[in-house]
Amino acid sequence: MRVARTLLIVVLLTGFAGGGLAYADARGDARAQVDFGIKAAQADLWREAIFRWQKAVEIDPTYAAAFNDLAIGYEHEGMPDKARQAYEKALKLDADNDYIRQNYEMFKEVHARATGTHP
């Protein structure tokens, strides 16, 4: 009985650890894509940057920073609808992030002033 309980605990712990590792792995891969995207954007290669950030959110759909960066990329490329969606997703994932909130507010301000309506 005692052995069985120990085995169960071991199995459960392994499962959790495995899941955690898989998650960490996904986040690690996504982070690598985000890093590459940032370097591309800094070199003014925005299409490449968008491609990398799209990959990042595919790998890890819970990565708020990647959605934020993707939104900025869309904004730069003149795709306000996609940018708004990405900002909203980023804020949904990390509602307390001041950087994302500030980026989104500036995006809304620009479009409100220029078009007279929110995008």
Residue 97 binds another protein (CB under 8 A): yes
Greatest C-alpha distance within the chain: 72
Q: How far is the CB of 116 from another protein (least distance, A)?
A: 5
Residue 42 binds another protein (CB under 8 A): yes
Answer yes or no: are the C-beta atoms of 63 and 34 closer than 8 Å.
Answer: yes
Q: How far is the CB of 21 from another protein (least distance, A)?
A: 21
Residue 111 binds another protein (CB under 8 A): yes
Nearest to 34 by CA among 88, 70, 62: 70
Q: How far is the CB of 72 from another protein (least distance, A)?
A: 5
Note the Cα 1 to chain centre separation in Å. Answer: 46
From 6-14, 17-25, 103-111, span contacting another protein (CB under 8 A): 103-111
Residue 1: partners with Cβ closer than 8 Å, 6 or more residues away = none
Residue 38: partners with Cβ closer than 8 Å, 6 or more residues away = 49, 69
| Residue ranges binding another protein (CB under 8 A) | 31, 34-35, 38, 41-42, 64-65, 68-69, 72, 75-78, 97, 99-100, 102-103, 106-107, 110-111, 113-117
